[in-house]
Chain A
C-alpha cells in the first residue's frame, strides 16, 4: 500500500514536472524510478573502491570535510540530490531564487567589472596607477584608503608618521581626492571606495568634487564600502556601535535620494574571512550584518523596495574552489528568500545578491611568491563560476608588500585570460546540475539557515554583535585553522609542504618623502582655506550630529569648504564617544 502510494505520487510528480519544466528536468536529472538502480550501482562501485584500497594498501588521504567542516563523500550521484526540485532550487538566471545568477544574461551580456584595488603613496601616485590600469583594460576604479584616513586622522597628525599612504591612498581633504582622480572620467567610470569603516567623509568629498566638475549627482556610479559592522567582528572600530550604524545608514539614505546609481552600503564579508573565519561564517555574518542596516533604514520610514536595491556585498574567494562556488550560489538563494519572505520585498531588484569579490589575501604566501599567481587564478575562477559582478585579483607579491606595477598588470591579465581564453564565462552557471555542487550548495544553505536561527534566537544580529559572539567565534576558527596548518592538516605549498625559505624580493614601498608630500599638501590646504567657511560648515555639521538628523548634506558642505577627514572624525568622537576597544 505504502509502496503503491509512493509510486503514484512519483508519477504525479514526474508528469507535472515534465509539464512545468518543459523537458528541462528530463534532460538534467534522472527520473526518480532510477534511484534504486543507481543506489545499487553505487553499492557495487563502493565495494570495488574498498577492495581497491585494501588490495593496493593505499590510504584514502582525502580530507573528510570541506574547510567549513561539511562532511564529504568521495563521489556524488543523483541520489544525493534525490528530492531536487529544479525550479524551486535553481530556476534560471535573473529569476527567483537567483541561484544561477542575478542577471538573465550574466557574462554573455557583458563581463564582470575588472576592478583592481589600488591607491598608495601620494595622490599623484594613485592617479598614475589608476590611469595605467584603465589604459590596460580595467573597467572600474577601486580605491583603497590608507589606515589613517580609515580611522579618521589627517596626514599631518604626528601619530600617523610612517603610515600615510602605506596601505592605500591618503585622503585628508577634497584636495587630495581631486589629485587622485585628476583627468579620470568619473562621470563615466564607476568608482568603488574601500572605506573599511564609515564612508561618509570620503563620499562627501567625492560628491563635492563631482559638483565642482558639474557632473549631475544622479549620474554618479559607484560604491562606498561604508560597512562599519565588520570592524566590530574583527579589528578595532574607532566609534561605538550604534552611532556607527546610524552614520552608515545616513549615507545610505542620502544615496537613495540623490545618487541612485551609487551603492551606499557594501556589506563586507571579505575582512571577516581574512581575519580567519570559514566560508559559512563569512556568508552568515555578512548577510546578517546587512539585515542590521536594513532594519535601521526601515525604522526611518523607508520601504524595503527602496532600500534593498542599493545594498551590495563584498566577498572573499578562497582556496577550496567548490565550497567557494557553493557559497556564492547559496548566498544568492538565502538573500532572495530573506528579502522576499522576511521583508516582503516585491521587486526583483530588491532580491538579488550582487557582490564584488577579492581573491583571498591571507591565502598568499611570502615563500615562493610566484605560486600566488596560481592561487589567485583559482580564487578568480571561484568568483567567476560563482557569478560575481566585479573582481579584484590579488597580485602575487601582496604577501610581501604593495603590488609592483608588473604584478598588478599580471593580476589584471589573469582576469583577461579567464574571460577571453578559458571559455569559462561562455555558459551561465556552468556547474549548475553538478551532483556535488548542487549538494554542497544545499549544505551551505542549510548551515547558513541554522546559524541564522541561532542569531534570531539571540535577539538578532545587533544583539549578537553587542554580545561579541561573532568576534569570539571568528577568533576561535582562526586559531583552530592555524593549529591545523601547523599540524599539517591544512597543507600550504612552500609553507608546511615542500617547505621553502623567504627569499629576497622587490617590494613596492612608500617612501617617507611621499608621505611628506601628503603632509605638506594638507598643511597647505589648512593654511589657505577660508577659515570662516570652515568654522561655519563644521559648526553646522556638529549641530547636525548632536541633533540626530541625517548628517550627509552637512558633510558635503563641509567638504566643499575644505574641512578635513580628521576634523569630521573629531566631531564624531566629541559627539558619539571614543574608541570602544573591544579586546
Chain B
C-alpha cells in the first residue's frame, strides 16, 4: 500500500512511434515544478510498455500526447487495454486532436480530458491535480 503523503505520480508518454515530444517534456517539467512525480516514458512507446509501466509504477494518472493524427486509433485501444487490466486511473490527452474527436474520446472511451494546442501549463497542471485528488 502506498503511504498517504506520497507524491502524486503521473505517467507521461506518447503512444506509437510518434517522435514529437516537445510539449510532453514541457508538461513533465511543469508537473515536477508543481511538486508531482513524473514517470516519463517519452516519445515512441508502445501500448504494452505504457500499460506495464502504469501497473508497475502505481501511477495516479496518465498523460498521453498525440501529434500525428493517430489518436482515434491508438487512444481507444489503450483505454480498452487499461480497462481490461483494471488500471482505473484518469487518462488526460493532448495534442493535435480536433474538437469533435476529443469529445468522442471523452464520451465513448473514458478519457478524462483532452487539451488542444494553445492550452496553458497552468490549466494542464490544474487538471492533473484535480483528477488525482
A residues within 8 Å of B by Cβ?
147-148, 150-151, 153, 159-163, 166-167, 196, 231, 234-236, 238, 274-276, 362, 365-367, 399-402, 475, 478-479, 482-483, 486, 495, 502, 504-505, 507, 509-510, 512, 579, 581, 583
Neighbouring A residues of B70 by C-beta, 8 Å: 162-163, 166
Q: B17 contacts the other chain (Cβ, under 8 Å)?
A: yes
Chain A: minimal CB distance from B47 (Å)? 8
Neighbouring A residues of B69 by C-beta, 8 Å: 166-167, 401-402, 507, 509-510
A478 to B22, CA, bound (A): 7
A365 to B96, CA, bound (A): 11
Chain A: minimal CB distance from B84 (Å)? 17
Q: B129 contacts the other chain (Cβ, under 8 Å)?
A: no
B residues within 8 Å of A by Cβ?
16-19, 21-22, 25-26, 29-30, 40-47, 68-70, 72-74, 77, 96, 98-99, 116-118, 120-122
Neighbouring B residues of A167 by C-beta, 8 Å: 18, 68-69
A478 to B20, CA, bound (A): 13
Chain A: minimal CB distance from B6 (Å)? 22
A196 to B121, CA, bound (A): 29
A153 to B30, CA, bound (A): 33
Neighbouring A residues of B44 by C-beta, 8 Å: 147, 151, 235-236, 238, 579
Chain A: minimal CB distance from B62 (Å)? 16
Once the chains bind, are B17 and A507 in contact (CB under 8 Å)? no
Question: A366-B118, A399-B117 given. 7 additional CB < 8 A pairs?
Answer: A147-B44, A147-B68, A151-B44, A159-B16, A366-B116, A479-B26, A502-B117
Chain A: minimal CB distance from B88 (Å)? 24
Complex A-B: 27 CB contacts under 8 Å: A159-B47, A160-B17, A161-B77, A162-B73, A162-B74, A163-B17, A163-B74, A167-B69, A231-B19, A235-B21, A236-B43, A275-B22, A276-B22, A365-B118, A366-B117, A366-B118, A399-B96, A401-B69, A478-B25, A479-B30, A482-B30, A502-B118, A505-B98, A507-B98, A509-B69, A512-B73, A583-B42
Chain A: minimal CB distance from B42 (Å)? 4
Neighbouring A residues of B47 by C-beta, 8 Å: 159
Neighbouring A residues of B19 by C-beta, 8 Å: 147, 150, 196, 231, 235-236
Once the chains bind, are A151 and B17 in contact (CB under 8 Å)? yes
Given contacts A163-B17, A236-B44, A366-B118, contact A478 B96 (CB under 8 A): no
Once the chains bind, are B18 and A163 in contact (CB under 8 Å)? yes
Neighbouring A residues of B99 by C-beta, 8 Å: 502, 504
A509 to B118, CA, bound (A): 21
A160 to B70, CA, bound (A): 10
Neighbouring A residues of B29 by C-beta, 8 Å: 475, 479
Neighbouring A residues of B121 by C-beta, 8 Å: 482-483, 486
Once the chains bind, are B16 and A147 in contact (CB under 8 Å)? yes
Once the chains bind, are A486 and B120 in contact (CB under 8 Å)? yes
Once the chains bind, are A366 and B22 in contact (CB under 8 Å)? no
Neighbouring A residues of B40 by C-beta, 8 Å: 583
Neighbouring B residues of A236 by C-beta, 8 Å: 19, 21, 42-45
Chain B: minimal CB distance from A368 (Å)? 11
Once the chains bind, are A400 and B118 in contact (CB under 8 Å)? no
Chain A: minimal CB distance from B53 (Å)? 11
Neighbouring A residues of B41 by C-beta, 8 Å: 583
A235 to B17, CA, bound (A): 10
Once the chains bind, are A160 and B98 in contact (CB under 8 Å)? no
